[in-house]
Amino acid sequence: MRRGRLLILLGLVLALGTGVVIIAVMMQQPSAPGPSPQGGQPAAQAQPTAIPTQKVWVALQPIPRGTEFVEDTLGLRDWPTSNVPPDVIGDVSETYGRVAATDVVQGMPVLRSMLAEKGAAGQAALLIPQGRVAVAFPIDEQSSVAYAIQPGDFVDVLVVVNLINIDPDFQSKMPNWVRFFSTQVDKDTGQQSLTLLEQYPGAKFERPPGLPDAIAGAIVYPSEAQRPWRVAQITVPAAKVLRVGPWREKPAAAPSAAAAAGAQAEQPPPPPSIITLAVEPQDALVLLWARKSNLHMELALRAPGAEDARYQPEAVTLQYVLTRFHIDAPPPKLPYAFEAEPVTPPTPAATPASATGQ
């Protein structure tokens, strides 16, 4: 009896396990599409809603601050319409002739607020190349290559220095003023006294060889002021010209009554007297020192394509000129010379009779 009950329980457990397995297998199998409510066809799966986009101009590569926009750095890309900034540019032509007012990240839409006029007032810093600073440089017709220099050119700064001798102790220009003195001995008391002689500019005592013993020597002093020796050299190479003239125009004077009436012809604007150069920071100090030292400075204009050339010219001095052009200094004294032919005055021509009325 008990054995029969065990068999019945075992059968029920097996049946229940089989049913669980069948249900699990059926749940793993994909269900067949049911009939469409409208025509017996299977219902289509729901498609995700498409996000609306529009074409905008974006940066194809990073554009550093101050860099001029070029067409190859911009391109059209799809951008979500809901996220398009209101001041995005509408056409690439809006960037022509302008520079980036800020760093533009690659893939970022180009906004009108990112554009700055090239060379506009208040935007001078955008034109300075990285690693350089801007300095003002005074010019005139001679120092500016006859006003041929234009923005974007590269120039070399030429400097002439006049060197002089100075006293290392006094740090003053030579020659010094010197006063000599003589010693006198009193015959009665035997005391010595000093007598100051005349003051001479840079005088010195010399005793040329061969003088009689009775002559102690001579006082030699210069006949003129010290002559400096001149040195010319390139000091600042490849300075970039950012602007010719001031960044802010000076206010024009009120026209006179005659000018307002058109009686006077319009006068051309005056030539510029200053330019802005982009130089390395150390060269900016060189220009400041030279200007405060009142040194003569001029500009030399470089040819296109020579912006990165580095010249190493030799400083020009009197010795350089004499050596290069084979000039003997001093010239030898020759025992002969030439004599010019005497000039015979021309004989006046006879006056024609018709000219005298005879």
How does pLDDT run across 179-194, given as a tens digit for each residue?
767 777 778 887 877 7
Every domain of the chain and the residues it spans: 53-127, 133-163+228-248+271-324, 177-220
The low-confidence residues of the chain, meaning pLDDT below 70, are: 1-48, 119-122, 180, 196-201, 249-266, 349-358
Q: How are the residues of the chain apportioned to helix, strand and coil, as percentages rounded to the nearest 5?
A: 20, 25, 55
Quickly name the fold that domain 53-127 has.
Type Iii Antifreeze Protein Isoform Hplc 12 (3.90.1210)
Q: What pLDDT is attached to residue 5?
A: 60
Q: What pLDDT is attached to residue 358?
A: 45
Cβ–Cβ under 8 Å, residues 180 and 197: yes
Q: What pLDDT is attached to residue 187?
A: 80
Which positions ≥6 away from 236 have C-beta within 8 Å? Answer: 156, 157, 277, 279, 283, 286, 287
φ, ψ dihedrals at 247, nearest 5°: -75, -30
**Residues present in the chain in total:** 358
Q: What pLDDT is attached to residue 321?
A: 94
Contacts for 262-270: CB closer than 8 Å, 24+ residues apart: none
Q: Is the pTM of this model over 0.85?
A: no
Q: What pLDDT is attached to residue 252?
A: 59
Q: What pLDDT is attached to residue 101?
A: 81
Cβ–Cβ under 8 Å, residues 241 and 151: yes
CA-to-CA distance for 115 and 65, rounded, in angstroms? 10
Q: What pLDDT is attached to residue 284?
A: 97
Q: What pLDDT is attached to residue 263?
A: 47
